[in-house]
Structure 1
Amino acid sequence: MSGKYAVVKTHRTEPLRDAVRDALVHYFEQLDGTAPNDLYQLVMEQVEQPLFETILSHTGGNQSRAATLLGISRSTLRKKLAQYEIE
């Protein structure tokens, strides 16, 4: 293997999209008419942290490989790990 990873787009990504949609519907139901603030930031924070935790677990803690799989630089990954206090 050359160390390159391909992005594979399959129907398997749909459950993730559906889970996010369902979570947002539930979130709005819980608001009971109250307007949310900074919804984009809230969603990104809620999604990013488990994403980084899971990808690091998947790569055995290899940050270089994790960054490659995520399509981001190692520097960006390290900043995000620090932001979410992930070791």
Structure 2
Amino acid sequence: MKEQLRKSVSKDVLSAVKNYVASTGGLRVTGLYSLVWDGIEYELIDAVLIHTRGNQSKAARMLGKEALILTYKTAEMFDYLFKYAEVSTYSFDCC
């Protein structure tokens, strides 16, 4: 099962990188590692947090990371989302 996941992710990343590089029309490509890794990392953390219903301790165990690292990465994710989101105002229904 783990090998199947690894192969699937590898195939998807390879395809996405090939398409991105081809779409640049021969322009110099820079920062590719960060671009790809940030996208994968944020999606992975998001999926695990959804699965654990936001429980960061459980999510950290699933990811094999320390809870403090996950807290830091989650904060990074929110900063990224608010910086690049198409909608700049959010309304949270709470309590």
TM-score with structure 2 length normalisation? 0.75
Structure 1 unaligned residues grouped into runs of 5+: 1-7
Among all aligned residue pairs of Structure 1 and Structure 2, give the percentage whose two residues are the same amino acid: 32
| C-alpha RMSD over aligned residues | 1.5
Partner-residue secondary structure (3-state), 1:10: helix
Please name the residue that 2:59 is paired with. Answer: 66
Please name the residue that 1:83 is paired with. Answer: 76
C-alpha distance in 2, partners of 1:69/1:40? 24
**Displacement of 1:59 after TM fit?**
1.1
The structure 1 segments of at least 4 consecutive aligned residues displaced by more than 4 Å after TM superposition are none
**Displacement of 1:60 after TM fit?**
1.2
Structure 2 unaligned residues grouped into runs of 5+: 80-95
> Deviations for 1:54-87, whole angstroms, at most 9, x for unmatched residues?
110011111001001111110100000000118x
TM-score with structure 1 length normalisation? 0.82
> Deviations for 1:25-61, whole angstroms, at most 9, x for unmatched residues?
1001111111112111111111111111111001111
The number of residues matched between the two structures is 79
